[in-house]
Amino acid sequence: MKIVKTISEIRDIVKDWRKAGYSIGLVPTMGYLHAGHGSLIEQSVKNNDKTVVSVFVNPTQFGPNEDLEKYPRDIDRDSQLVESLGGDIIFNPEASEMYNTKNYTYITVQGLSEKLCGITRPTHFAGVCQVVSKLFHIVMPDNAYFGLKDFQQYVIIKTMVEDLNFPVKINPVNIVREESGIAMSSRNVYLTDDEKKSALSLSDTLKKASQLINNGEKNSKELIKQMQEFISSHPYTKIDYIKIVDINTLEDIAEIPDNNYAVLLAVYVGKTRLIDNFVQHS
Amino acid sequence: MKIVKTISEIRDIVKDWRKAGYSIGLVPTMGYLHAGHGSLIEQSVKNNDKTVVSVFVNPTQFGPNEDLEKYPRDIDRDSQLVESLGGDIIFNPEASEMYNTKNYTYITVQGLSEKLCGITRPTHFAGVCQVVSKLFHIVMPDNAYFGLKDFQQYVIIKTMVEDLNFPVKINPVNIVREESGIAMSSRNVYLTDDEKKSALSLSDTLKKASQLINNGEKNSKELIKQMQEFISSHPYTKIDYIKIVDINTLEDIAEIPDNNYAVLLAVYVGKTRLIDNFVQHS
């Protein structure tokens, strides 16, 4: 598996691919890849001639008291996974390669970035938009793949791409779950066995919420109350938010419509902050 | 001269050019082209296989009390000029084509956008960064050309491109002046004959400042004082700012160095706001 460390090298490779007429897919990741990332890579490999997987723990999307230092890393294992799935190149720059000049420029997606995860992580999405726009400009992919577990991130990036006419198609990919139901996340590695049991309450409550909605519950407040009670009945849990929102504007919805809503939640389990959701498209 | 109105059409044309291996230059303008724009177009035609001139009076870079409505327009004359200089295409979209969705996304170049012209025009450079990034993503040029009359704009765009790794080279082009010395500007058309005489004080004071510096004057404060007195001695003038700044950070410089400084000024002549400068590179 070829691992590229510099912007100039990946640019040269992509330039040759373009000349040869190849389509290019990009899967931006922070590494420590799991089956969720695997699903993104498979989609990209299937739909593009060449696939670049970026592995970069982007410092600018972590807050001062977050887990930048201890965020799990294993480039050898990542490399094996990308190879086994047919990816072509890992782009794995150092932070000094990505941020080599004093930065003045910020991208904000106003009205979408401040909500939900943006409340506890006020600079997070500015960091995400920064690194994603840099990666898009460096790799110039035709397609980029984002997991729907980070639903707010997906909406923000899709909106940024539309607003600024980036020449890339944003492809959402469904959440991949462990056998237990828990959503795949690199941060699951932080959980103790006991915490993992409590973490199951996230996917369990989403399943129940979906059933309740299908059975006719349309009142968001009532549904959220039941979800809160369920999650809080599990030890180690502390709810950050549970929200039912419009999938485009991320605005709260009082009465649940037939389509185009998402049920989103963020919960601390021990010290680990986990997110999960389900999305009802039209 | 081919005038393209839609994003999809210009993208198709550029895609074919790319396939054929052509290099592409972009000259972003608001139209009503003069010899200053002509100089940008000439540079682009000289250094690229194909040149796109965008003509778009971008509403988002005008403040609420500025001259959006009365900004001069003459696409027929523009078309003739571009053709005579060897440009290949004019991209001339309607505002509804460029801004066809609710916009959430803002690019700010913090620390550079708030200074100088940013004081009287607080949303101006956000609008400029927005439209320039959109044009870059639509046309995907190898080179883009910007006039040094808008020196702050040039520094902000160059910085945005570096910070976000846009795959485009930003080429600065020297100011073109009328025979009298007055810097070419589409807004010169607003000036009465009497105002035009007073407008000459901008280029005249820059010439004098340059001489004084060459003769050993190193004190910015003293120099600025003399420039203020000179301009103010002309009727219809009202100084917005006169600044001597570092060419990269746009920070004020107290003692004028040998190189890498710019003398920048903005002056109202009657109701028309004019800017001019000279830049001393290393």
Residue A165 has its nearest CB partner, among B7, B19, B112, at B7
Mean pLDDT calculated for residue range B175-187: 96
Cβ–Cβ gap B163/A110 under 8 Å = no
Which of B34, B37, B137, B281 is the catalytic position? B37
Nearest CA in chain A to B11: A167
- Give the tokens for residue A216: 């006719």
Cβ–Cβ gap B11/A140 under 8 Å = no
B272–chain A nearest CA distance, Å: 30
CB A97 within 8 A of CB A54: no
**Where in chain A are all domains bearing CATH 3.40.50.620?**
2-173
For residue B208, give every residue at least 6 positions away whose Cβ sits within 8 Å of its Cβ, in sequence order, or none.
B226, B227, B230
Q: How far apart are CA B166 and CA B173, in angstroms?
A: 20
| Chain A hits for B133, Cβ within 8 Å | 164
Cβ–Cβ gap A21/B18 under 8 Å = no
For residue A242, give every residue at least 6 positions away whose Cβ sits within 8 Å of its Cβ, in sequence order, or none.
A224, A227, A228, A231, A263, A264, A265
Mean pLDDT calculated for residue range A234-240: 98
| Chain A hits for B134, Cβ within 8 Å | 164-165
User: What pLDDT, on a 0 to 100 scale, did the predictor assign at position A282?
Assistant: 85
Amino acid at B187: R
Cβ–Cβ gap B105/A160 under 8 Å = yes
Rg of the Cα atoms in chain A = 19
User: What pLDDT, on a 0 to 100 scale, did the predictor assign at position B271?
Assistant: 95
Say yes or no to pLDDT of A278 above 90.
yes
B168–chain A nearest CA distance, Å: 9
Mean pLDDT of all residues belonging to chain A? 97
A153–chain B nearest CA distance, Å: 14
Say yes or no to pLDDT of B101 above 90.
no
Mean pLDDT calculated for residue range B139-155: 98
Q: Is B37 annotated in the active site?
A: yes
CA angle B153/B156/B158 to nearest 5° reads: 105
User: What pLDDT, on a 0 to 100 scale, did the predictor assign at position B282?
Assistant: 85
pLDDT tens-digit map of B256-273:
999 999 999 999 999 999
| Chain B hits for A164, Cβ within 8 Å | 105, 107, 130, 133-134, 137
Mean pLDDT of all residues belonging to chain B? 97
Say yes or no to pLDDT of A232 above 90.
yes
Cβ–Cβ gap A109/B105 under 8 Å = yes
> Which ipTM was obtained for this model?
0.96
Q: How far apart are CA B221 and CA B253, in angstroms?
A: 9
Report which of residues B65 and A157 the model is more confident about: A157
CA B101 to chain CA centroid, Å, is: 27
Q: What is the CATH number of domain A186-277?
A: 3.30.1300.10
User: What pLDDT, on a 0 to 100 scale, did the predictor assign at position B174?
Assistant: 97
With tokens 């299937």, the residue in question is: A46
Q: What distances in angstroms separate CA A214 from CA A203, A227, A257, one per listed residue?
A: 17, 15, 11
CB A61 within 8 A of CB A134: no
Nearest CA in chain A to B139: A167
User: What pLDDT, on a 0 to 100 scale, did the predictor assign at position B59?
Assistant: 97
Helix (H) or strand (E) holding A244, with range, is strand A237-246
Q: A144-172: b or e for each residue (b if 16 or more CB lie within 10 Å)?
A: bbbbbbbbbbbbbbbbbbbbbbbbbebbb
Q: How far apart are CA B275 and CA B282, in angstroms?
A: 23
With tokens 């060449």, the residue in question is: A50
User: What pLDDT, on a 0 to 100 scale, did the predictor assign at position A101?
Assistant: 86
Mean pLDDT calculated for residue range A40-63: 98
pLDDT tens-digit map of A112-164:
999 999 999 999 999 999 999 999 999 999 999 999 999 999 999 999 999 99
A166–chain B nearest CA distance, Å: 5
Q: How far apart are CA A30 and CA A131, in angstroms?
A: 11
Interface with B, mutate which of A104, A142, A248 (most B CBs under 10 A): A104
Cα–Cα nearest to A166, from B128, B7, B191, B230: B7
Cβ–Cβ gap B140/A167 under 8 Å = yes
Q: How far apart are CA B20 and CA B23, in angstroms?
A: 9
Say yes or no to pLDDT of A255 above 90.
yes
Please report which confidence band the pLDDT of residue B253 belongs to, taking 50, 70 and 90 as the band edges.
Answer: very high
Cα–Cα nearest to B125, from A113, A102, A106, A100: A106
Mean pLDDT calculated for residue range B225-239: 98
**Where in chain A are all domains bearing CATH 3.30.1300.10?**
186-277
User: What pLDDT, on a 0 to 100 scale, did the predictor assign at position A57?
Assistant: 98
Residue B167 has its nearest CB partner, among A19, A103, A137, at A137
Mean pLDDT calculated for residue range A259-282: 96
What are phi and psi for residue B256, nearest 5 degrees? Answer: -70, 125
H runs (alpha helix) in A140-172 = 151-163
Does domain A2-173 fall under CATH 3.40.50.620? My reply is yes
| Chain A hits for B19, Cβ within 8 Å | 21
What are phi and psi for residue A107, nearest 5 degrees? Answer: -110, 125
